[in-house]
Structure 1
Amino acid sequence: MSTLTVPPQIPSVAEDCEQLHKAFAGWGTNEHLIISILAHRNAGQRKAIRHTYAETYGQDLLKDLDKELSSHFEKLVLLWTLESCERDAVLTYEATKKWTKSNQVLVEIACTRPPKELILAREAYHARYKKSLEEDVAYHTTEEFRKLLLPLVSSYRYEGDEVDLHLAKSEAKILHEKIKGKHYCDDDVIRIVATRSKAQVNATLNQYKDEFGNDLIKDLEHDDDNEFLPILKAAFECLVYPENYFEKVLREAINKRGTDEDALTRIVATRAEVDLKIIKGLYHKRNSVPLHRAIVKDTHGDYEKMVVALVGEDDS
């Protein structure tokens, strides 16, 4: 469920382009005008604006935005203005270049995007960076992390709702044995999390709880000394409970000492047109404060205004 608000009557694409071009003119940039347009246009409308802007002015809107804006506000506006596959390509590129063992962005993108969207992201990566996403993931990650991340970003999962309950039961037993023995990077564990459909993984996790009395994801929290566990846990969460996962990322981004603007920007830019309304509801329920109020308390300036415009103020 989207939080994006698009006016019932919007100007023509040509008029939007003219107003954006005017926002860059003169001594100072009109950030309010940029927010009032781009934060209230859907993906198709933003794509049309980019195309018409280039045709009309012979300039790339993204380059003009990059030149005129700065800091976290600039990053959010640029990410938001990109097509979703381009956005994922940019985010995965940044994640590989800055990869650490605690970086879950690659898992997040690989496990929450539909299969066709993940293919488009890989194609966009190839076009933008002149190499494959798989190549960079293999080069920049290490050991067991590479063993998990490479098949995740290469995956093309079945998208249907059909499940095999017999298979779910047998694979729940496999997962229980491997987790109990602390064999978290076992080939069977990687195979299940990297290839099974989301519906099948969900059925397996249900069988796991029914059979062994514990939630698999909670069982993955019991070995605090293992650096691989958080990323494996994130993979299961993103496949089966994506809204819960994103709510937790937002909570940690906002509640930590000093806001994690990169995480806040990423979640808002990628989920505003997908399921941010559900995530907002979870946030309000678990933190007893509406998401937009928490954002206003922790951010400021044009960045705050852009984030709140995309998140919306109605947390009902």
Structure 2
Amino acid sequence: MATLKVPAQVPSPSEDAEQLRKAFVGWGTNEDLIISILAHRNASQRKLISETYASTYGEDLLVSLDKELSSDFERIVMLWALGPPAERDAFLANEATKRMTSNNWVLMEIASTRSSLDLFKVKQAYQARFKRSLEEDVAYHTSGDFRKLLVPLVSTFRYEGEEVNMTLAKSEAKLLHEKIAEKAYNDEEVIRIITTRSKAQLNATLNHYNNDFGNAINKDLKSNPEDEYLKLLRSTIKCLTFPEKYFEKVLRMAINKLGTDEWALTRVVVTRAEVDMERIKEDYQRRNSVPLDQAISNDTSGDYEKMLLALIGHGDY
């Protein structure tokens, strides 16, 4: 369900690297050429281009891009060119632990929407790049209920199969309902179930919860809509069960804010373009009665707009 449009005949990495070099030299940068190449290459192709560029020109492609580009366009191109998805996720996770850019939602997104193996690769990339574990940085930079939820969330290695224990699902649905009725939202059992159960098992539990107690769990977790921990807990459950609905909402909020939240818009488009952007677009149109490409065009401009549209499968580049 990706949206990335890769040409049937892809030029060799050396041809792409040469064209990118041409885009950087001379009077002014050729942004259209950069978009036409990078926005139409998948992760493994981009990795080969970066390696070829470095060996041919003796400079990291990211360094060249950093010299030539600026503002929101620079951020989206740099994130997109940042090598394998695990490298990009490691960078985003590290950024999310910094004081000035700390963002619990980004950490939760990465931990909840990547497969167990992909999350493991993120943690390997994080350790190789920052010489610390993701778990220790998350633990150090969070506190209270946020730490109680996020540390096990980034530490887990969930079972990925479809096997479900229905007896367990029924008993854990009852347990969740009891704890939520007591407003014990940070209870160890609540956190254990949400952070360790497979997505299939969790779905079965939440279906039981809905059927047995007459409400979706996220409705019962809205007792205090402004509580930041409860917002994060509801978002975690949504990410684990319906990630496309979660990302549609992030895009909607980013575009509908007074002044676009380019940081969120860039992150979602870049991280989901090769995953489930088609589903997110369908959800966006259904929820907002406007196609996502039109919403982006109405809210952004220039090379940044062109890159966004190319990554979601629209535009001329």
Using structure 2 for the length normalisation, give the TM-score: 0.96
- The CA RMSD over aligned residues, in Å, is 1.4
Match for residue 78 of structure 1?
78
Structure 1 match to 2:306: 305
Alignment of 1:26-65 (within 5 A): 26-65=26-65
Aligned partners of 1:309, 1:129: CA distance in 2, in Å?
A: 32
Structure 2: tracts of 5 or more residues without a match: none
Q: CA deviation at 1:102?
A: 7.0
- Contact map agreement 1:272 1:311 (CA 8 A) in 2: yes
Of 35-44 and 213-222, the range deviating more from structure 2: 213-222
After superposition, give the CA deviation of every residue in 1:285-314 in whole Å (9 maximum; x if it has no partner). Answer: 110111001001000111110000001239
Task: Summarize the alignment of residues 88-237 of structure 1 with structure 2, pairs less than 5 Å apart.
Answer: 88-98=89-99, 103-237=104-238
Letter aligned with residue 45 of structure 2? Q
Q: How does 1:250-269 map to 2 (within 5 A)?
A: 250-269=251-270
What count of residue pairs does the alignment treat as equivalent?
Answer: 314
The CA deviation at 1:227 is 2.6
Matches within 5 A, 1:240-259: 240-259=241-260
Whole-angstrom CA distance in 2 between matches of 1:89 and 1:136: 12
Moved more, 167-176 or 54-63: 54-63
CA deviation map 1:199-242 (0-9, x unaligned): 01100000000100100012112223533101111111110010
Aligned-pair identity (%): 64
Which amino acid in 1 is paired with 2:248?
Answer: E
Equivalent residues of 1:102, 1:231 under 8 A apart: no
Cα offset for 1:283?
0.3
Write out per-residue CA displacement over residues 139-197 of structure 1, whole angstroms, 9 at most, x where no aligned residue: 11011110110010111000001110000000000111111111000000010011000
Preserved CA contact (<8 Å) 1:99 1:140: no
TM-score normalised by the chain length of structure 1:
0.97
In the TM superposition, what is the alpha-carbon distance from 1:18 to its structure 2 partner?
0.3
* Matched-pair contact (CA < 8 Å) for 1:161–1:199: yes
Q: Distance in 1 between matches of 2:159 and 2:78?
A: 32
Question: Do the aligned partners of 1:54 and 1:61 also contact (CA within 8 Å) in 2?
Answer: yes
Residue identity in the other structure for 1:168: A
2:228 alignment partner, SS class: coil
CA distance in 1 between partners of 2:214 and 2:61 (Å) = 54
Q: Distance in 2 between matches of 1:102 and 1:42?
A: 27
CA distance in 1, matches of 2:151, 2:202: 19
Matched, 1:286 2:290: no
1:100 deviates by: 8.3
CA distance in structure 1 between the partners assigned to 2:301 and 2:131 by the alignment: 37
Q: Provide closer, same or farther for how the CA distance between residues 310 and 183 of structure 1 changes in structure 2, counting only shifts above 3 A.
A: same
Counterpart Cα distance in 2 of 1:219 and 1:66? 46
Q: How many Å apart are 1:130 and its aligned residue?
A: 1.5
How big is each residue's C-alpha offset from its partner over 1:83-120, in whole Å with a ceiling of 9 and x where there is no partner? 10011011111111147897411111100000011011
C-alpha contact 2:97 2:103 (8 A) present in aligned 1: no
| Contact persistence 1:101–1:228 (CA under 8 A) | no
CA contact (8 A) 1:53 1:60 kept: yes
Change (3 A) 1:287 1:163: same
Distance 2:295 2:170 in 1: 42
The code of the aligned residue for 1:37 comes to I
Return the offset for 1:10.
2.1
Q: Quick one: distance in 2 between partners of 1:173 and 1:301?
A: 53
Offset at residue 27 of structure 1 (A): 2.4
Q: Find the aligned partners of 2:55 and 2:103 in 1 and give their Cα distance.
A: 43
